[in-house]
Structure 1
Amino acid sequence: MNIPNRITISRILLIPLFILLMSIPFQWGEWNIGDESLPVSHFVAALLFIIASTTDWIDGYYARKHNLVTNLGKFLDPLADKLLVSAALILLVETGAAPAWVVIIIISREFAVTGLRLVAAGEGTVLAAGNMGKLKTATQMVAISVLLLHNFPFSFIDFPFGTIMLYIALFFTVLSGYDYFVKNWHVMRDSK
Structure 2
Amino acid sequence: MKRRMNLPNKLTIIRIVLTIFIIFFLLFPFEQIGVHMPEYIIKFNAPVKIGLEYIISGIIFIVAAFTDFLDGYIARKYKLITNLGKMLDAIADKVLVNSVLICFAANNIISPFITVIIIFRDTIVDAIKMQAAAKGKVIAAITTGKIKTAAMMVAITLLFFSNLPFEFWGIKVADVILYFAVIMSLISMTEYILKNKNVFE
1:23 aligns with 2:35: no
Alignment-derived partner of residue 78 in structure 2: 66
Alignment-derived partner of residue 134 in structure 1: 146
Segments of 5+ residues of structure 2 without an aligned counterpart are none
| Aligned sequence identity (%) | 38
1:12 aligns with 2:22: no
SS at match of 2:49: strand
Moved segments of 4+, more than 4 Å: none
Q: 2-side partners of 1:45 and 1:62: how far apart?
A: 25
Deviation at 1:35, TM superposition (A): 4.0
SS at match of 1:38: strand
Q: 2-side partners of 1:27 and 1:76: how far apart?
A: 36
**Aligned alpha-carbon RMSD (Å):** 1.3
| TM-score scaled by length of structure 2 | 0.89
Alignment of 1:44-55 (within 5 A): 44-55=56-67
Size of the aligned set, in residue pairs, is 189
Q: 2-side partners of 1:68 and 1:19: how far apart?
A: 30
> Retained in 2: the 8 A contact 1:11–1:55?
yes
Deviation at 1:91, TM superposition (A): 0.9
Letter aligned with residue 14 of structure 1: L
> Retained in 2: the 8 A contact 1:35–1:158?
no
After superposition, the C-alpha distances for 1:99-130 in whole angstroms (9 at most, x for unaligned) are: 11111111100011111111111111221211
**Greater radius of gyration (CA):** 2
**2:49 paired residue among 37, 43, 46:** 37
Letter aligned with residue 17 of structure 1: F
Alignment-derived partner of residue 118 in structure 1: 130
| TM-score scaled by length of structure 1 | 0.93
**2:188 paired residue among 164, 173, 176:** 176
> Retained in 2: the 8 A contact 1:92–1:148?
no
Q: 1-side partners of 2:73 and 2:145: how far apart?
A: 16
Q: 1-side partners of 2:188 and 2:50: how far apart?
A: 33
Deviation at 1:150, TM superposition (A): 1.6
Alignment-derived partner of residue 84 in structure 1: 96
Segments of 5+ residues of structure 1 without an aligned counterpart are none
